Structure 1
Amino acid sequence: MKPVFKDSPSFFRNIGIILALFLLVIGIVIPLLLIFWQSVSTGQGLDLLAPIRTIAGHDLSSVLFQTIWLGVCVVAGTTLLALPLAWIMSKTRLGQHRWIDVVLMIPFMTPPYIGSMGWILFMQKGGYLQQWLPGSAALSDSFFSFGGMVLIMCLHLFPFLYLLLRDAIIRIGGNLEEAGAVHGASSGYRFRRIMLPLLLSSYGMGAMLVFVKTIAEFGTPATFGRRIGYYVMTSEIHKYISSWPIDFGKATSLASILLSVCLVMWYMQSTISRRFTYRLVGGKGQRSKRYALRGLTGAASVVYLALLLIFSIGIPYFSVIVASLMKLRGAGLAWDNLTLDHYRDLLTWGSVSMKALGNSLGLSLAASTIAVVLGTGFALAVGKSQKRTQRVIDLFSLLPNTVPGIVMVVGLILFWNSPWLPATLYNTYGMVVLTYVVLFLPYTVQYVKANFTQIDGSLFQAGQVFGGGPLLIMRRILLPLIVPGMLAGWIMTFTISVRELVGSLLILPPSMQTSATYIFAQFEQGQVSLGMAMAVVSVGMTVALLLVVEALKSNRKWNAS
């Protein structure tokens, strides 16, 4: 796409592109390159196989295989959960209830470590399940295993795959299936020869996302995985960086291998998408047939949806809320054992918890504001990505979404703690804000770019024809049209920064806490009620912010503007 302001001097346009590339290289590319450099540089020179030798020589290969196996099992589990749900919501009358889709996004919006803590409280010895069913001790014991860890992660990640599969099934429509039925194909044959090939591209993308998010996840392995003795790459990287003796050699070796696995998965997914992508939109359009819920099929669909909501939302949130209200954990579930004292202690002005909450809000506010300014600039520089420099900016700005968060944090630590820097941000509040900005910058870039690429260039030409200068066109045409994308990017960055755990654990200055690290510390130290009260407050603030934004979006004056 041509620049927005065609008559503006090319010098300033080039300066903007160079500045965008410089910031992205400094903030994202160089930290990632330092991970590879640190992992392959030895006392004898460069050794490209050094990360593999480090892992094999220190008995870390089992951690790599455990990580990959966990990713494979979670992909299989999310497929079993998401595929029937996608069919139900796209082919039955239940899909007409839009509130179900909103509710199904709650697991995704819930921080993984909070959901894991809720399941631990529910299933542990003397937990809520055993208080209701004293004979369920055997079930609780079997839950604390690899299978239980897979279940928890599947219940958190299945919305990714579900949304992609549901939209793909809707796009396929009912015409192709009807054509197969007219020619005598059975339902199984139609599913195998029509539906599956057309779903493969979307499924490949969703499965890759689930796999990458699984192997990059830190919260669940740090809470549930540590309890059952199942260690993965992210938990080991955190151990070598945060526990004495600190070993950056092993940490960077694990980080480079983890990054390589993620990049290979992205390449495989893009190959599958190119090979199995079909055009389904024609001049006649598509219509999707919905089946009435009758008999056994209807009852099974409703029961399946209800069980999925109970397991993914009901149990974790019930455990978290009850734990935050309980006076004494040993007294069990009883009305006289519930209190609001933990919330009063949590929200007492000047307390450690209030300082942690204030730190989260302040850091997230600064990070989201900086991210929306930088992300908007990068998105405008990218345009429709026709030039090579624009494609490079687009690629670099989206790298943090491809790279596991803990890998990105390790790279930032290596770069900003380098002795050759004249000044360093490491161990300062600025380092925390920078980390949040880098990790969540892609959200703003994507949202703003989506709005910007839909703007017809004739609008800017019309503004120039009527004598509008660059600043007037930007203020009266460009900004009003991209403000929704900027707002969406700001909200996403703010809400995720408030709950960010792995980056906060690794780069927070001493004696400083955020709401996420406070929850994690209280749970580890046995102060479960205070930690769960903080979890309820944090999630509640996120939900309240989203509701306010939805109210603004539905307001007629907002829409008119």
Structure 2
Amino acid sequence: MLRFANRLFHQKGVALAIILLLAAIGLPLFLVLLKSFFPDDHFDVWAPLNVILDTDLRGVLFNSLWMGFWVVAGATALAFPMAFLSVKTSIGQKKWLDIILIVPFMTPPYIGSMGWILFMEKRGFLEQMVPAAQAVTPYFFSLFGMVAIMSLHLFPFLYLILRNALMRIGAGYEEAGAVHGAPFLYRLRRIVLPLLLGSYAMGALLVFVKTIAEFGTPATFGRKIGYYVLTTEIHRYTSSWPIDFGKATALSSVLLTTCLVFWYMQSVITRRFQYQTLGGKGSRAAARPTSRWRLALAWGYVAVLLGLSIGVPYFSIIVASFQKLRGDGLSWDNFTLSHYQTLLGFGSTGLESLLNSLGLALVSATIAVLLGTFLALKIGSAATRPQRVVDLFSLLPNTVPGIVTVVGLILLWNAPWMPIPLYNTYGMVVLTYVVFFLPYSVQYIKSSLSQIDQTLLQAGRVFGAGSWYTFRRILLPLLVPGILAGWMMTFTISIRELVASLMILPPSMQVSATYIFSQFEQGDVSLGMAMAVVSVGLTTIVLAIMNYINADRK
């Protein structure tokens, strides 16, 4: 009887999880698709296609796809040499390098692009340091510059995938080719690259999807060069007069469909070109003997890569935050702390924005972790179909472009029939952040849950412990590392979130991301960059503290 009651309780919990996810994620996306077929409150099955066939918007779709392909090429050109050097040379023994290489990916894209704009613009930092660069810098403000900025932001993602795939291949396959007389380039072309194809296809298509779904860089750098993509046009139709939700939802449905098609292509290619490279004999990725000059060249490549991806944007951001007058250039007399004093002064707009960000991130991360813990426990090992449905919907916000999710949430909570007046409130912002970043909590907690041996729980029940006591004294303490990691990730990303904040913040309310964006747009760059330094610094401190706490618990 007790076992039947527990099973019934679990089934009700799974049903509740499905209802919550359908209401929070499924229904908003359904409304986006539905609204795209009712542009003028009249059903038109061809409405999304007609919108895209519009000359201007057809160019926007092409711009998004073209940019995606070039960013994949750029990220590949940066990531593959770095992955090869990490696995095949002694560079890979420097464990600190992997931590440093994650910094570009963890930097908010709009902050990185602002740093590059300050560095490369006319009379920017590069021209001030190297006057001869004035002949070159104007060429940066083109599609090439935009692709370079986004490639430098996304290459760490592809690098980690390729490095792990190369490590799994091991040295034995190449050694077998060398024994039969194959030179290095032949082994690379006929052995290494085919074995990497499945992993590379997965990483490349994920980079492509992240690129066409990105808002920050197109909204800052893309607007400056007149290069408009789907995400910026969706934002324009929902935030600038005349507001046109018909076109916004049509573009959202096109963007959503495009991303889902490429996600499906990624899964098909990965299954088709997946090879088993780990066997009972194990594998080893021995470092290749390297001469001093080749090792020097390798470290030179690493230094240039880190300089471009981290050094340039952070140099520009930090220096700009200290400048009195941008026109006076780089001189000690032109540096001041007054922007930080203005930003953090009691009652200032900057301090209010920062406190809003911290409060929203704190509440959102806590709710996301509580909900993520509940969902992870209900998913379990995903043995049944309802559990797999919960797992699918809990990960959906990571698959769907963020701006599409925001449009769906606006349609849902601003609908005339919605009895809960949540739109244009603090609660709407919290809900959006929770929906956006719920997958992080679920994944981290699922990872911790999968490592727990069920015999520990069975031992508790053998000694008479009830379900609540077993959960509180055995399961929950073992889940704490995953819960802390999920909370930390959600808190960190919530502080820097831009697209959701721009679209759903109540009037007159600002957070750190919108403050940076507005100050940069209005020309008060130093105040915006001071906020960028403070925001990045705070998130870094939180990450360090939470990592320290997590390490102590292990």
Please, what TM-score do these two structures have when normalized by structure 2?
0.98
Residue 540 (structure 2) pairs with residue 543 (structure 1): yes
Residue 320 (structure 2) pairs with residue 306 (structure 1): no
Superimposed CA distance per residue, residues 518-547 of structure 1 (whole angstroms, 9 cap, x where no aligned partner)? 000000001101000000000000111111
Residue 550 (structure 2) pairs with residue 553 (structure 1): yes
In structure 2, what is the Cα distance between the partners aligned to 1:202 and 1:18?
Answer: 35
**Conservation of the 8 A alpha-carbon contact between 2:39 and 2:246:** no
In structure 2, what is the Cα distance between the partners aligned to 1:43 and 1:340?
Answer: 53
Residue 204 (structure 2) pairs with residue 204 (structure 1): no
Amino acid at match of 1:27: A
**Conservation of the 8 A alpha-carbon contact between 1:320 and 1:535:** yes
Residue 367 (structure 2) pairs with residue 364 (structure 1): no
Which of 175, 180, 198 aligns to 2:177? It is 180
Instruction: Find the residue that maps to 1:246 and give its secondary structure.
Output: coil
In structure 2, what is the Cα distance between the partners aligned to 1:120 and 1:112?
Answer: 12
Aligned to 1:380: 377
Post-superposition offset of 1:235: 0.5
Residue 92 (structure 2) pairs with residue 100 (structure 1): no
**Conservation of the 8 A alpha-carbon contact between 1:252 and 1:410:** yes
Post-superposition offset of 1:45: 5.2
**Conservation of the 8 A alpha-carbon contact between 1:153 and 1:214:** yes
Post-superposition offset of 1:461: 1.2
**Conservation of the 8 A alpha-carbon contact between 2:447 and 2:482:** yes
Superimposed CA distance per residue, residues 347-392 of structure 1 (whole angstroms, 9 cap, x where no aligned partner)? 1111111110010000110100000000111111111111100110
Residue 492 (structure 2) pairs with residue 501 (structure 1): no
In structure 2, what is the Cα distance between the partners aligned to 1:202 and 1:241?
Answer: 37
Residue 442 (structure 2) pairs with residue 445 (structure 1): yes
Aligned to 1:75: 72
**Conservation of the 8 A alpha-carbon contact between 1:8 and 1:470:** no
Amino acid at match of 1:434: L
Which of 11, 15, 23 aligns to 1:18? It is 15
Which of 186, 189, 195 aligns to 1:189? It is 186
Aligned to 2:158: 161
Answer with 197-206 or 230-239: which moved more: 197-206
Which of 261, 265, 287 aligns to 2:284? It is 287
Amino acid at match of 2:244: D
Superimposed CA distance per residue, residues 266-320 of structure 1 (whole angstroms, 9 cap, x where no aligned partner)? 0000001111112222111111110244244212211100000000000100000
Aligned to 2:106: 109
Aligned to 1:41: 38
Amino acid at match of 1:439: F
Per the alignment, do residues 41 and 542 of structure 1 end up closer, same or farther by CA in structure 2, a change over 3 Å counting? same
Post-superposition offset of 1:467: 1.1
Instruction: Find the residue that maps to 1:59 and give its secondary structure.
Output: helix
Amino acid at match of 2:193: L
**Conservation of the 8 A alpha-carbon contact between 2:198 and 2:269:** yes
Per the alignment, do residues 74 and 532 of structure 1 end up closer, same or farther by CA in structure 2, a change over 3 Å counting? same
Superimposed CA distance per residue, residues 457-507 of structure 1 (whole angstroms, 9 cap, x where no aligned partner)? 222111111111111110121111111111111011000000000000000
Instruction: Find the residue that maps to 1:9 and give its secondary structure.
Output: helix
Answer with 321-330 or 132-141: which moved more: 132-141
Answer with 525-534 or 191-200: which moved more: 191-200
Aligned to 2:467: 470
Considering only aligned residues, what root-mean-square deviation do their CA atoms show, in Å? Answer: 1.3
Aligned to 2:332: 335
In structure 2, what is the Cα distance between the partners aligned to 1:202 and 1:184?
Answer: 27
In structure 1, what is the Cα distance between the partners aligned to 2:278 and 2:130?
Answer: 53
In structure 2, what is the Cα distance between the partners aligned to 1:188 and 1:322?
Answer: 44
Answer with 254-263 or 416-425: which moved more: 416-425
In structure 2, what is the Cα distance between the partners aligned to 1:129 and 1:58?
Answer: 38
Per the alignment, do residues 62 and 340 of structure 1 end up closer, same or farther by CA in structure 2, a change over 3 Å counting? same
Instruction: Find the residue that maps to 1:36 and give its secondary structure.
Output: helix
Amino acid at match of 2:499: V
In structure 2, what is the Cα distance between the partners aligned to 1:369 and 1:123?
Answer: 40
Aligned length: 553
Post-superposition offset of 1:42: 5.2
Aligned to 1:146: 143
Amino acid at match of 2:191: I
**Conservation of the 8 A alpha-carbon contact between 1:293 and 1:299:** no
In structure 1, what is the Cα distance between the partners aligned to 2:370 and 2:548?
Answer: 24
Amino acid at match of 1:279: Q
Amino acid at match of 2:269: I
Amino acid at match of 1:69: W
Give unpaired runs (5+ residues) of structure 2: none
**Conservation of the 8 A alpha-carbon contact between 1:55 and 1:250:** no
In structure 2, what is the Cα distance between the partners aligned to 1:58 and 1:288?
Answer: 52
Residue 244 (structure 2) pairs with residue 229 (structure 1): no
Instruction: Find the residue that maps to 2:136 and give its secondary structure.
Output: helix
Which of 387, 395, 400 aligns to 1:398? It is 395
**Conservation of the 8 A alpha-carbon contact between 2:484 and 2:550:** no
In structure 2, what is the Cα distance between the partners aligned to 1:176 and 1:425?
Answer: 59
In structure 2, what is the Cα distance between the partners aligned to 1:57 and 1:350?
Answer: 48
Amino acid at match of 2:302: L
Give unpaired runs (5+ residues) of structure 1: none
Post-superposition offset of 1:193: 1.9
In structure 2, what is the Cα distance between the partners aligned to 1:57 and 1:67?
Answer: 15
In structure 2, what is the Cα distance between the partners aligned to 1:10 and 1:468?
Answer: 17
Amino acid at match of 2:288: Y
Instruction: Find the residue that maps to 2:452 and give its secondary structure.
Output: coil
Which of 402, 407, 412 aligns to 1:410? It is 407
Which of 100, 107, 127 aligns to 1:130? It is 127
**Conservation of the 8 A alpha-carbon contact between 1:500 and 1:516:** yes
In structure 2, what is the Cα distance between the partners aligned to 1:477 and 1:522?
Answer: 50
In structure 2, what is the Cα distance between the partners aligned to 1:66 and 1:324?
Answer: 33
**Conservation of the 8 A alpha-carbon contact between 1:91 and 1:288:** yes
Post-superposition offset of 1:44: 8.4
Per the alignment, do residues 7 and 470 of structure 1 end up closer, same or farther by CA in structure 2, a change over 3 Å counting? farther
Aligned to 1:315: 312
Amino acid at match of 2:228: Y
In structure 1, what is the Cα distance between the partners aligned to 2:360 and 2:461?
Answer: 40
**1:510-521 to 2 correspondences below 5 Å:** 510-521=507-518
Superimposed CA distance per residue, residues 222-268 of structure 1 (whole angstroms, 9 cap, x where no aligned partner)? 11000000000000000000000000011001000000000000000
Post-superposition offset of 1:8: 4.9
**Conservation of the 8 A alpha-carbon contact between 1:89 and 1:166:** yes
Post-superposition offset of 1:11: 2.5
Amino acid at match of 1:59: D
Instruction: Find the residue that maps to 2:177 and give its secondary structure.
Output: helix
Aligned to 2:479: 482
In structure 1, what is the Cα distance between the partners aligned to 2:63 and 2:211?
Answer: 12
Amino acid at match of 2:236: K
Aligned to 2:273: 276
Instruction: Find the residue that maps to 2:56 and give its secondary structure.
Output: coil
**Conservation of the 8 A alpha-carbon contact between 2:83 and 2:163:** yes
Post-superposition offset of 1:7: 6.6
Identity %: 61
Amino acid at match of 1:285: G
Please, what TM-score do these two structures have when normalized by structure 1?
0.97
